[in-house]
């Protein structure tokens, strides 16, 4: 259920024809003196280039005079974006399709979290825990025990518990149904690189996402107060077997400072992941001086398992320092369907229907304030 590069490029060209106002941007890493135009009060915003600039691959950035140099990043793919405007400030191979590991749980949460109130209680059956992949991260969900939905979500976000994902997916109609629903949700957000096979992010043949799509999911999650509360929680109590509770800690080291990683100031959390196939992956967001950035880092090629956090730190620092000194290289809204509600309703009619908007119009948009 992957959409090829040719389709997205054609869609982008059609969007430009419809808009008729976007100008082509220069190649990556070239300074662009194009004048900015006002957007929000106190913020200057340049014309957003067409989506196909991010399709070019390699490192894409449009530096103005006085802009800080990009940091050295070894990840196979990464992206820095303004979470408020959706402007992509810089990226490297933004649409490269790679295994996402547990960062895919962000899309799982976007899809399933709104369906069940946090206070609903559910008694877990053995059937719901069947099929958990070998070596999966677990929070300790036990057959026959009753949990609040909120408990399960803390298990998903903090411990990256595949057992909690299994139970929530069962409540949602089953594993396969949830996977197809996740793909429809991704398409409705303009995330065209993501194919879901295992909703928990466990390595599975054909399961991929991209730095672009993961940034889209992270940004969308920040609009949901429940999502934001779960992903930014460092520590929580989880129900034990005998009426007691035990402490669980978020595995995002930028949030907790575990393993010698210095906590990042203003971090809003989001989600980290690791599998042997995906390597280390991370979606991180932080707020500073009234500005919120979202960063994605996929599979660093240097260092150890903590490198993903340090490379995210470098990109966040650069993004905050570069404010007002770079022109965007794309938008997290650029590939969204024109009619979101209509697209989702159409896709919902059949699990095998083509992705929303695949044969219809797509528009290149510079910003969407709320979703």
Cα 13 to Cα 16: distance, rounded to the nearest angstrom = 5
Cα–Cα distances (Å) from 160 to 34, 103, 300, 319, in that order, read 44, 9, 20, 27
Catalytically annotated residues = 102, 105, 160
Segments in the chain forming alpha helices (H) = 5-19, 52-55, 105-112, 149-157, 162-171, 175-188, 211-221, 225-231, 253-256, 307-321, 340-348
Residue 22 backbone zone (phi > 0: left; psi -120 to 50: alpha; other: beta): beta
Question: What are the CB-based long-range contacts (under 8 Å, 24+) for 20-28?
Answer: 22/47, 22/48, 22/49, 22/50, 22/364, 23/47, 23/49, 24/49, 24/50, 25/49, 25/50, 25/53, 25/62, 25/327, 25/329, 26/62, 27/56, 28/53, 28/56, 28/58, 28/59, 28/60, 28/61, 28/329
Contact of 243 with 142, CB cutoff 8 Å: no
By the 10 Å C-beta count (0-12 exposed, 13-18 middle, 19+ buried), 363 is classed as: buried
Residue 284 pairs in a beta bridge with 270, 295
**Helices 105-112 and 149-157 sit at what angle, rounded to 10 degrees?**
160
């Amino acid at each position: 259920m992957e959409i090829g590069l040719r389709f997205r490029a054609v869609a982008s060209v059609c969007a430009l024809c419809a808009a008729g106002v976007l100008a082509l941007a220069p190649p990556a890493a070239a300074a662009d003196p194009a004048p900015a135009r006002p957007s929000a009060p106190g913020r200057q915003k340049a014309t957003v280039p067409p989506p196909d600039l991010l399709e070019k691959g390699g490192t894409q950035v449009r530096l103005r005079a006085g802009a800080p140099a990009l940091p050295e990043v070894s990840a196979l793919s990464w992206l820095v974006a303004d979470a408020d405007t959706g402007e992509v400030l810089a990226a490297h191979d933004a649409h490269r399709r790679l295994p996402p590991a547990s960062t895919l749980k962000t899309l799982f949460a976007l899809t399933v979290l709104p369906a069940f109130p946090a206070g609903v209680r559910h008694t877990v059956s053995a059937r719901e825990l069947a099929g958990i992949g070998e070596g999966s991260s677990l929070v300790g969900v036990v057959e026959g025990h009753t949990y609040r939905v909120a408990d399960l979500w803390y298990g998903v976000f903090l411990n990256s518990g595949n057992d909690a994902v299994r139970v929530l997916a069962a409540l949602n109609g089953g594993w396969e149904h949830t996977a197809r629903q996740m793909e429809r949700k991704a398409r409705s957000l303009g995330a065209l690189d993501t194919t879901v096979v295992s909703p928990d992010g466990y390595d599975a043949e054909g399961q991929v996402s991209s730095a672009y799509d993961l940034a889209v999911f992270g940004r969308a999650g920040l609009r949901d107060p429940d999502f934001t509360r779960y992903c930014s929680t460092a520590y929580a109590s989880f129900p034990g077997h005998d009426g007691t509770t035990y402490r669980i800690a978020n595995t995002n080291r930028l949030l907790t400072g575990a393993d010698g990683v210095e906590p990042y100031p203003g971090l809003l959390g989001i989600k980290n992941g690791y599998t042997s196939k995906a390597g280390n992956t991370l979606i991180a967001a932080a707020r500073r001086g009234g500005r919120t950035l979202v960063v994605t880092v996929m599979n660093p090629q240097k260092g150890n398992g903590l490198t993903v956090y340090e490379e995210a730190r470098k990109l966040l620092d650069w993004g905050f320092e570069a404010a007002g000194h770079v022109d965007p290289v794309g938008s997290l809204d650029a590939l969204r369907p024109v009619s979101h509600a209509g697209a989702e309703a159409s896709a919902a009619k059949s699990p095998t229907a083509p992705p929303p908007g695949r044969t219809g119009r797509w528009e290149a948009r510079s910003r969407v304030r709320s979703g």
